[in-house]
């Protein structure tokens, strides 16, 4: 039985307030009684509590706190993103696994998840702390038709989607730390790592890796001052599947806005509204010479505009330099 059948049974049970009869399930999903029964069995093994009452049908009582393929697929209200979810218990890095799957023919919009990453990767060769079962370690596979130079902007698109998804599911005031971190109360809750396989004028695939610290209670000393989780900031745990669902739904919407102009024209205003330290002093750590200025938000290409004395605007390119907040955010 395919995971998709289980996802569809789960989606139908989730949508129904009371009992859903076996007959109704068969008709709605166009599957046999045996297929329904097998799906319910498998879901029960996976930790879903499903009540079965004769002459009434099935009723979903409770969900496990898992981030399984079924859980995510059954929630997603997207049209192409996450139609195929690959979920693993343990991988080295979901980005590495996604790259392999992309080379092996995984379709555009596939999503890769893992409970445990043994070698989670951060930007600039750093590692990413990925404790088991308490974060969203997720990579998206895209096979777009645009030119490779547009790809770096997708990191900013993803940051926008993550900030919006977190705001909606938790009520926390998530902000974007340009270009690609999401922070809550000035501490990092999410990092994004975009990787690409391309020729000069042709993209084979892009992998957007996203790590969201959801229910992590404590961090190693090296990052304890700068990292946080949704749990630590809100004082309660969250369903990882609910957060991942909203982030992906936002990403599909944001990506379609991005694709219209192949830049950030359509997202720029909301990105800038979510930008940490906007209109505040920043220090640009340019290897050619550091300087201070006022952050004025991004332009349509995603470059940060930094105003210097005399009102001249300097463009800061992501990837080349770091920007630190001087008063207020780090």
Q: Specify which residues 294 forms β-bridges with.
A: 281, 307
Phi, psi of 137 (to 5 degrees): -110, 105
Position 126 contacts ligand BTN (CB under 6 A): yes
Position 178 contacts ligand BTN (CB under 6 A): no
Position 7 contacts ligand BTN (CB under 6 A): no
Report, in Å, the least distance between residue 62 CB and ligand BTN: 28
CB 283 within 8 A of CB 267: no
Which of these segments, 165-173, 206-214, 225-233, 309-317, binds ligand BTN (CB under 6 A)?
A: 206-214
Position 78 contacts ligand BTN (CB under 6 A): no
Burial group, residue 265, by CB count within 10 angstroms (0-12, 13-18, 19+): middle
Candidate residues 66, 74, 94, 194; the one interacting with ligand BTN per rule CB under 6 A? 94
Burial group, residue 93, by CB count within 10 angstroms (0-12, 13-18, 19+): buried
CB 86 within 8 A of CB 113: yes
Which helix (H) or strand (E) element contains residue 212?
Answer: strand 202-213
- For ligand BTN, give the closer residue by CB, 42 or 123: 123
Position 93 contacts ligand BTN (CB under 6 A): yes
236: closest CA among 163, 171, 161, 165? 171
Which of these segments, 13-21, 43-51, 118-126, 160-168, binds ligand BTN (CB under 6 A)?
A: 118-126
Report, in Å, the least distance between residue 103 CB and ligand BTN: 16
Q: Which residues bind ligand BTN (CB under 6 A)?
A: 93-95, 117, 120-123, 126, 128, 137-139, 181, 191-193, 209-211
């Amino acid at each position: 039985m395919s995971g998709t059948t289980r996802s569809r049974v789960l989606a139908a049970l989730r949508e129904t307030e009371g009992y859903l009869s076996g007959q109704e399930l068969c008709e709605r999903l166009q599957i046999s009684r045996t297929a329904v029964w097998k799906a319910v069995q498998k879901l029960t093994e996976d930790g879903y509590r499903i009540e079965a009452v004769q002459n009434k049908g099935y009723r979903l009582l409770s969900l496990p706190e898992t981030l399984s393929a079924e859980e995510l697929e059954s929630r997603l209200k997207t049209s192409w993103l996450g139609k195929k979810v690959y979920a693993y218990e343990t991988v080295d890095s979901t980005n590495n696994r996604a790259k392999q799957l992309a080379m092996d023919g995984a379709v555009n919009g596939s999503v890769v998840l893992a409970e445990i990453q043994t070698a989670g990767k951060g930007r600039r060769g750093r590692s990413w702390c990925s404790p088991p079962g308490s974060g969203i370690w997720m990579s998206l596979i895209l096979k777009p038709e645009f030119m490779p130079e547009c790809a770096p902007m997708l990191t900013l698109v993803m940051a926008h989607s993550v900030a919006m998804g977190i705001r909606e599911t938790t009520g926390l005031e998530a902000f974007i730390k340009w270009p690609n971190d999401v922070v809550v109360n000035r501490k990092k809750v999410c990092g994004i790592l975009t990787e690409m396989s391309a020729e000069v004028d042709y993209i084979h695939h892009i992998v957007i890796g996203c790590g969201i610290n959801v229910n992590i209670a404590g961090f190693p000393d090296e990052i304890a001052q700068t990292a946080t989780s949704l749990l630590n900031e809100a004082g309660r745990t969250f369903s990882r599947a609910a957060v991942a669902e909203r982030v992906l739904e936002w990403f599909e919407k944001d990506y379609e806005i991005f694709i219209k102009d192949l830049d950030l024209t359509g997202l720029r205003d909301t990105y800038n509204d979510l930008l940490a330290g906007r209109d505040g002093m920043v220090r640009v750590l340019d290897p050619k010479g550091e300087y201070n200025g006022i952050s004025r938000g991004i332009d349509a290409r995603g470059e940060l505009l930094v105003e210097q004395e005399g009102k001249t605007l300097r463009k800061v390119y992501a990837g080349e330099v770091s920007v630190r907040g001087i008063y207020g955010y780090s």
